[in-house]
Amino acid sequence: MLTIWGRTNSVNVKKVLWAVHELEVPHERIDAGGAFGLVNDAEYRAMNPNGLVPLLKDGDLVLWESNAILRYLCAKFGAGSLWAEDPAERAIGDKWMDWATSNLAGPYRDVFWNLVRMTPETRDDAAVERGRTACSALLARVDQALADKPYLSGETFRMGDIPLACFAYGWYEMPIERPHLPNLDAWYARVRERPAFATAVAVPLT
């Protein structure tokens, strides 16, 4: 059985939990990170020297970095569903996984941390607005990409849609002004209908 370390309110942990629920893979989850601590314990650091979540153990394999874990799970358990066998088809969505991490995560964090995890007294409103503006511009690129296909992965929901959809949940739930992006809105409505999204992603923002 897989073992996953991580707290359910982490975007990066949500990616992994969504995949195992989507693929119906038996697993055990251990609370770690944030208020749960554990990540600085010597035993944990021996598995993940970064002291971050998520962390996956599958037999003798110990793996960290959420996108790497997601790719591994989909390759092992999701052939024909979340994992496209054709490399070119798979790459269509795969690029959005790293794009979400390298482009969107930074400005999103400025909005999320200040609005959700900071108190009104410690909140940086200027950082919120900078992050909101940057995210709006970035998500407009996603909206354009979705103009001719229902999913970032193409005609079918696959692995490449998961990371951005985890960020999108917070984006749509936070009390902020959002630009009108009809293709993004329609894509988000489609991914929200998946039962595994409700189980793994749609939890209160904390």
In a domain, residue 145? The reply is yes
pLDDT (tens, 9 = 90+) of the chain, 206 residues, equals 999 999 999 999 999 999 999 999 999 999 999 999 999 999 999 999 999 999 999 999 999 999 999 999 999 999 999 999 999 999 999 999 999 999 999 999 999 999 999 999 999 999 999 999 999 999 999 999 999 999 999 999 999 999 999 999 999 999 999 999 999 999 999 999 999 999 999 999 99
pLDDT score of 128: 98
- pLDDT at position 201 is 98
Question: 38 in helix, strand or coil?
Answer: coil
Residue 45 lies in a domain: yes
The domain that holds 163 is classified in CATH as: 1.20.1050.10
Phi/psi of residue 151, each to 5°?
-135, 155
Tell me the pTM: 0.97
47 and 98 both lie in a single domain? no
Residue 24, both tokens: 């119906």
Q: Are residues 144 and 126 in the same domain?
A: yes
Q: Where are the beta strands (DSSP E) in 54-147?
A: 55-58, 61-64
- Do 186 and 91 share a domain, yes or no? yes
Output the pLDDT for position 20: 98
Q: What pLDDT is recorded for position 73?
A: 98
pLDDT at 177: 97
Q: Closest Cα to residue 159, out of 62, 26, 64, 69?
A: 69
CA–CA separation, 191 and 120 (whole Å): 32
Which are the contacts of 123, defined by CB distance < 8 A and separation ≥ 6?
A: 114, 115
State the pLDDT at residue 33. Answer: 98
Look up the domain containing 46 and give its range: 2-77
Instruction: Report the C-alpha gap between 66 and 101 in whole angstroms.
Output: 10
* 127 lies in some domain: yes
